[in-house]
């Protein structure tokens, strides 16, 4: 950031790719404890490191996705969101079904016996999960006997809620008041915190766990949207950014039950500010491998455990899975994600380039 204390957010020159990759790595570390069977790992205020890393993902996503919705036509916005999430996700399901699961059986029993005949089979696994909502976690007996059995990818469940946040942003973005008013965006965040508080402190009203999880995650996404409106209107202030770091930490660590949701706007502001002062390697700036890292970490960890990765100890196992996961993430970015985005990007038309009555006024 420049010498001035306040300035526009540098959308082309920040470290958000690095931050998202580090958050994905935290998720891998958090999951390693469960997958390797060595406990639950570090946690505070009811969430482990992975849960708080996901919160970071959602506030950053709320910031970037809200900007995308306000700057592109409704159809192009949806097309971009589908292209960003679904191709790599579907390929990941197929890779698990036709590569990881067979390898697991070969490691366990030296042959592929029962792969197609034991339910759920690989085709069932792909078809049942094709909509982003995870209904089937295992494939036959491929992961029986491991510390965290019969779960090939325990990270994918969040993508359903992520995409649901995209759809809600798409709908809200059609309202002029939402596009123009910080109060309206702030009201959505406040409402999400109230719902979260009701479900945690009083009653779920008979609603299922899916709603409970959505109420937990949407507050972070909505806080990212609020951060976008504030920064777009008044710029990113250095002193507020510095203050947001400890204040967000206090809310997250010391306020029970809803501390994360209450401190989510501070968390968003803190991460966005830090992304402007902490540099990232140029390679990471040009290649966003965080999504691929997130979706491949768990299956790599499971297969690595089956292959004897824990024989060298927990942290060497973690280091090995980081390296292997990064290889899969890079392949996903180069072969699937980047080509998919390139195919839809030429269709994009900025909302500011058309006469749209709902376009927000200049900050």
Peptide bond into 248 cis (omega under 30): no
Residue 351 pLDDT: 43
Inside any domain, residue 141 = no
Residue 183 pLDDT: 97
Inside any domain, residue 316 = yes
Residue 199 pLDDT: 86
> How buried is residue 332: exposed, middle or buried, by Cβ count under 10 Å (0-12/13-18/19+)?
buried
Inside any domain, residue 201 = yes
Q: Which residue has the tokens 């100890």?
A: 313
Residue 359 pLDDT: 33
Inside any domain, residue 269 = yes
For residue 345, the tally of other CB atoms under 10 A from its CB is 12
Residue 46 pLDDT: 81
Give pLDDT < 70 ranges for the chain.
1-4, 346-363
The candidate with the shortest Cα–Cα distance to 300, out of 323, 334, 331, is: 323
The pLDDT tens digits of the residues spanning 250-283 come to 999 999 889 999 999 999 999 999 999 999 999 9
Inside any domain, residue 292 = yes
The pLDDT tens digits of the residues spanning 132-154 come to 999 999 999 999 999 999 999 99
Residue 355 pLDDT: 34
Vertex 331, ends 30 and 11: CA angle to 5°? 75
Inside any domain, residue 115 = no
Cα–Cα distance for residue pair 23/293, rounded to 1 Å: 10
pTM above 0.95, yes or no: no
Inside any domain, residue 39 = yes
Residue 43 pLDDT: 87
Inside any domain, residue 107 = no
Dihedral sign for Cα atoms in the order 150, 152, 158, 163: negative
CB 34 within 8 A of CB 297: no
Residue 114 pLDDT: 93
Can you give the residue range of the structural domain that contains 257?
Answer: 6-86+166-353
Cα–Cα distance for residue pair 145/142, rounded to 1 Å: 9
Domain count, the chain: 1
Residue 82 pLDDT: 97
């Amino acid at each position: 950031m420049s010498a001035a204390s306040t300035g526009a957010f540098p959308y082309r020159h920040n470290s958000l790719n690095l931050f998202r990759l580090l958050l994905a790595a935290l998720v891998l570390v958090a999951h390693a404890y469960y997958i390797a069977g060595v406990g639950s790992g570090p946690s505070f205020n009811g969430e482990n490191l992975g849960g708080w890393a996901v919160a970071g993902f959602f506030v950053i996503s709320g910031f970037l996705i809200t900007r995308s919705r306000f700057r592109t036509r409704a159809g192009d916005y949806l097309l971009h969101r589908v292209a960003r999430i679904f191709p790599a996700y579907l390929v990941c399901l197929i890779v698990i079904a036709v590569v990881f699961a067979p390898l697991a059986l070969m490691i366990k029993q030296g042959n592929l016996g029962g792969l197609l005949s034991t339910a759920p089979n690989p085709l069932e696994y792909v078809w049942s999960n094709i909509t982003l909502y995870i209904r089937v976690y295992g494939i036959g007996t491929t992961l029986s006997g491991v510390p965290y059995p019969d779960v090939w990818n325990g990270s994918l469940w969040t993508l359903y809620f992520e995409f649901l946040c995209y759809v809600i942003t798409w709908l809200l973005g059609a309202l002029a008041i939402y596009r123009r008013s910080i109060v309206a965006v702030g009201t959505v965040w406040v409402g999400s915190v109230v719902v979260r508080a009701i479900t945690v402190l009083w009653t779920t009203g008979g609603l299922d766990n899916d709603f409970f999880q959505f109420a937990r995650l949407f507050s972070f996404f909505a806080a990212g949207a609020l951060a976008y409106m504030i920064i777009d209107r008044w710029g990113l202030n250095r002193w507020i950014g510095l203050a947001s770091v400890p204040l967000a930490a206090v809310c997250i660590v010391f306020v029970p039950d809803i501390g994360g949701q209450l401190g989510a706007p501070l968390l968003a502001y803190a991460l966005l500010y830090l992304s402007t002062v902490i540099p990232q390697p140029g390679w990471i700036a040009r290649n966003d491998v965080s999504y691929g890292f997130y979706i491949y970490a768990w299956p790599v960890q499971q297969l690595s455990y089956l292959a004897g990765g824990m024989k060298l100890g927990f942290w060497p196992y973690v280091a090995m899975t980081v390296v292997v996961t990064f290889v899969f993430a890079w392949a996903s970015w180069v072969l699937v994600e980047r080509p998919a985005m390139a195919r839809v990007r030429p269709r994009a038309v900025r909302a500011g380039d058309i006469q749209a009555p709902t376009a927000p006024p200049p900050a």
